[in-house]
């Protein structure tokens, strides 16, 4: 494929963790040409300055935001609120936009106000962005011009719960999401200071986490959802443990069938439920750097057959952010959905 046939993409906010993952994926994607990577903080510096894993892979340098040129597809990896405030400018830069922030994930301004405790800077744009999770929105993404990123905690919960939610059996869910430190972004804060973060098992958001809104929007609000987030000593990773209370009794065979029917054709969903070994259930550690989401379950046959524990794991920077963004791009362009995304992760790590 000649350079003229490659789709030109640019990344705004390329010095952060999600921007770095997009860089890594774009540089090895066979149908993309990385035109510009924008950073207000590091213009003129090599992109491998904040992303040392890219040393020797590219000699590309960061450009200043004022120098952003037209391209085919623009990725936005900006802090909360920045993309929304300048969306009209970015619309003029590229015909297709994928925003990896939380600015356009919710469709309703009232929901945004409720969960983000502020008015949206560009409420007329809410609803124009398609939620970037292909497993739930593939057909709509294929026709989309504007795509939002996904919350990593929302994604691991959505993929854990979607088959049960679609079955109509869900009555109540109590989900705790355990997350690594990279979820907090590249900018340090008091909570990410090493003596405070190391060894932590810290209840970050027992109630009211904004990613819960994405789950309710994607799966419906007909079941009761309790959602908490706990910080643990990981760099990458999110693990959902969802206690699901159903309106009917089930057995292991019926839940296997439900999840196989839902995910047997999904390239990036793996069902993990083994009888022996140390990796009998999903484990974020083995997913580092991959776009896979592993999903498993256990029916509470000794307690209540209406209680199912669903466990799901992913890399928050990949399937929970940059990986889903590239997967959505592949869907938008009509390419094989797995293009550039088949790295299987590392073990041990």
77 φ, ψ to 5°?
-125, 60
Catalytic-labelled residue, pool 100, 152, 244, 293: 152
- The span from the first CA to the last CA of the chain, in angstroms, equals 35
Q: How far apart are CA 97 and CA 103, in angstroms?
A: 13
Order of strands, edge to edge, in the sheet holding 146-148?
62-63, 32-38, 7-12, 73-76, 96-99, 146-148, 130-131
Name the pairing type of β-strands 238-246 and 170-179: antiparallel
Tell which residue, 345, 183, 192, 173, has the closest CA to residue 247. 173
Q: Which residue has the tokens 């790590």?
A: 349
Name the pairing type of β-strands 224-231 and 202-205: antiparallel
What size, in residues, is the chain? Answer: 349
Collapsing DSSP states into helix, strand and coil, what is residue 204?
Answer: strand
Bridge partner list, 38: 12, 63
Q: Is the dihedral of CA 18, 42, 120, 203 positive or negative?
A: positive
Collapsing DSSP states into helix, strand and coil, what is residue 340?
Answer: coil
Tell which residue, 80, 74, 13, 86, has the closest CA to residue 47. 13
Establish whether 244 is a catalytic residue.
no
Question: What positions carry a catalytic annotation?
Answer: 152
């Amino acid at each position: 494929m000649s350079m003229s046939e490659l789709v030109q993409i640019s990344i705004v906010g390329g010095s952060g963790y999600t921007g770095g993952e997009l860089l890594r994926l774009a540089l090895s994607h066979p149908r993309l040409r990385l035109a510009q990577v924008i950073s207000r903080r590091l213009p003129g510096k090599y992109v491998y300055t904040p992303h040392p894993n890219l040393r020797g892979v590219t000699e590309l340098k960061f450009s200043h935001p004022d120098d952003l040129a037209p391209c085919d597809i623009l990725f936005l990896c900006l802090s909360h609120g920045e993309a929304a405030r300048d969306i009209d400018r970015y619309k003029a830069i590229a015909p297709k936009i994928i925003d990896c922030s939380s600015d356009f994930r919710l469709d309703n301004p009232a929901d945004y106000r409720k969960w983000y405790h502020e008015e949206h800077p560009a409420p007329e744009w809410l609803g124009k962005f398609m939620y970037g999770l292909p497993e739930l929105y593939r057909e709509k993404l294929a026709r989309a011009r504007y795509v939002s990123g996904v919350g990593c905690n929302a994604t691991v919960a959505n993929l854990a719960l979607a088959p049960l939610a679609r079955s109509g059996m869900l009555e109540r869910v109590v989900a705790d999401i355990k997350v690594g430190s990279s979820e907090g972004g590249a900018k340090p804060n008091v909570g990410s200071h090493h003596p405070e973060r190391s060894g932590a098992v810290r209840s970050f958001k027992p109630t009211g986490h904004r990613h819960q809104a994405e789950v309710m929007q994607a799966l419906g609000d007909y079941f009761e959802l309790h959602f908490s987030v706990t910080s643990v000593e990981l760099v990458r990773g999110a693990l959902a443990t969802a206690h699901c209370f159903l309106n009917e009794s089930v057995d292991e065979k019926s839940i296997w069938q439900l999840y196989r029917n839902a995910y047997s054709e999904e390239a990036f969903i793996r069902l993990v439920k083994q009888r022996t070994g140390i990796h009998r259930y999903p484990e974020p550690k083995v997913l580092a750097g991959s776009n896979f989401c592993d999903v498993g379950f256990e029916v509470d046959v000794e307690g209540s057959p209406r209680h199912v524990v669903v466990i799901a794991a992913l890399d928050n920077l990949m399937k929970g952010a940059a990986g889903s963004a590239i997967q959505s791009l592949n869907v938008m362009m009509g390419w094989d959905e797995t293009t550039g995304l088949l790295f299987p992760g590392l073990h041990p790590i």
